[in-house]
Chains A and B, each alone.
Chain A
Amino acid sequence: MAKIIVVTSGKGGVGKTTSAAAIATGLALRGQKTVVIDFDVGLRNLDLIMGCERRVVYDLVNVIQGEAGLNQALIRDKRVDNLHILPASQTRDKDALTNEGVEQIFKALSEDFDFIICDSPAGIERGAQLAMYFADEAIVVTNPEVSSVRDSDRMLGLLASKTRRAEQNEEPIKEHLMVTRYNPSRVDSGDMLNLDDIREILAIDLIGVIPESEAVLRASNQGVPVTHDSDSDAGLAYTDAVSRLLGEDLPLRLYGGQKKGLLSRMFGGTRR
């Protein structure tokens, strides 16, 4: 049985797709058979981040509507053997997704894969609700800012009430907090919320802190998930998060953005 993990946030632009791609890649690199599904029908991005946009023929909606088989739509990743991508449709809208169709896809994928990663669209509408509905675990992606934290809080409320596990009174979805675009020096200067504040408000376990990093931007534009960039701060942070997802107990390490010492602050030394 595959484990279904939804990557969600409520707010847009916080790094859901980047995180979904990085985590799926990380899991596959650890030998787990992984498929990553783009639920953002109409605004698909995952194929770009995964660097497979030129190989999309069929998509999620085609499969749900019976126009293509699942194996025709699945794209095998060029870099990692165990990784597949199921892209979203760019021309349909989210109403093309049905509960039953999504359930069937999950059932079929569960037989072949260890992990199903769902990249949720922003918002709390149908697309986002479908992406989370069948999930076993959720990774809630949050930026260190007030609006993002509040939207994540809303999302956690929905995860606890509007999902299959909640409706059927099963064991609740396991929730993980992933803080992205974390910039220690901006936290110190008070421009961003600090980690403790976020953890206190959201009150769920932290699975990773991804630093604000040029490596992420570079990775997105090149279509290579940042996990492959194993020298980068963000790549290391995602690798740690994947280890925690697989049940390892790693101490929290903050990569990148070492606190500026007194001297560098005085002389305005730049990092990186």
Chain B
Amino acid sequence: MSLNVDRDTSAFTFKGGMLPMTVMELTSADPEHIREQLAGKMNQAPAFFQHTPVVLSVERLDEPHLSLERICAVCRTHKLLPVAVRGGSDPVRQSAWALGLGWFPPLEASRPRPLESVSTNAERTPITEEEEEVTEMLPGGVGRIYRGTVRSGQQISAPEGDLVVVGAVNAGAEVLAGGSVHVYGPLRGRALAGIHGNPLASIFCRELRAELLSVAGNYKRLDDIDPRLLNTSVQIQLTDDQLSITPLD
């Protein structure tokens, strides 16, 4: 009951956010090696290195003791701001916390929670609370189904599995799923599939007019969509790290 909240006394409100975040997937633990590569990248794309927040992913490294401090220092000298670490052993987690960084569980083990939420305590905020009740479980068990119009400002999500919307997703609305998103109606809002990074997730819709399409973090805006595909039935998949939109009929 938000009506009873006394606005004068609350200092802040928690809001769930989906922020675009660069994940720096480390394949070497050697700070010098990282420094060389960063220097090269910085020459290629100086615009990217503007105190850009990054999440350091150490999942692919098999080293219990990382010199996290030195890696962070290398990043900072190249105008990257490490904000969190993903994966790694317990000592890695401890040293991340000691450095004032957040820690995310590795992808495989992570429970369904959007990795994009960078806040160190990635709690589910009440934003979706009102809508969560109106979706039903899909008969198969995982995933959710929503019947009706998803309206501007509403967010409907299926953190695990697929989300099926029987109706329209209007401009300003957002639908998200850990798996695929199916919209049996016009898709005018934002649709994000594979929010935990599943590259096999897809988006299907009857009438494409989406403000934003995203599969596993790869996105296209309305302006990037071939105008010939607008208002048609399409599926959106990830092929070679690119979103491809193909007609359904």
Q: Which among A25-33, A154-162, A251-259 touches the partner chain?
A: A154-162
Chain B interface mostly: loop
Q: Which among B19-27, B146-154, B191-199 touches the partner chain?
A: B146-154
| A203 contacts the other chain (CB 8 A) | yes
| A130 contacts the other chain (CB 8 A) | yes
The distance from the CB of A9 to the nearest CB of chain B, in whole angstroms, is 13
- Do A133 and B130 touch (CB < 8 A)? no
- Do B2 and A162 touch (CB < 8 A)? yes
Q: Tell me the chain B residues, 20-42 only, with Cβ under 8 Å from chain A.
A: none
- In Å, the complex CA distance between A158 and B130 comes to 10
Q: Tell me the chain B residues, 165-188 only, with Cβ under 8 Å from chain A.
A: 167-168, 170-173, 186, 188
- Do A203 and B168 touch (CB < 8 A)? yes
- Do A161 and B130 touch (CB < 8 A)? yes
- Do B153 and A95 touch (CB < 8 A)? no
Chain A interface mostly: helix
- Do B151 and A95 touch (CB < 8 A)? no
The distance from the CB of B206 to the nearest CB of chain A, in whole angstroms, is 13
- Do B170 and A201 touch (CB < 8 A)? yes
Q: Within 8 Å CB of B131, what residues of A?
A: 161
Query: Residues of A within 8 Å of B, CB-based: how many?
Result: 22
Q: Which among B3-11, B49-57, B135-143 touches the partner chain?
A: B3-11
Report if A129-B171 is in contact (Cβ < 8 Å); known contacts: A157-B151, A157-B152, A161-B131: no
- Do A129 and B3 touch (CB < 8 A)? yes
- Do A95 and B3 touch (CB < 8 A)? no
- Do B2 and A203 touch (CB < 8 A)? no
- In Å, the complex CA distance between A153 and B149 comes to 9
Q: Within 8 Å CB of A126, what residues of B?
A: 3, 7
Per-residue 0/1 for B196-237: is the Cβ within 8 Å of any A Cβ (1 yes, 0 no)?
Answer: 000000000000000000000000000000000000000000
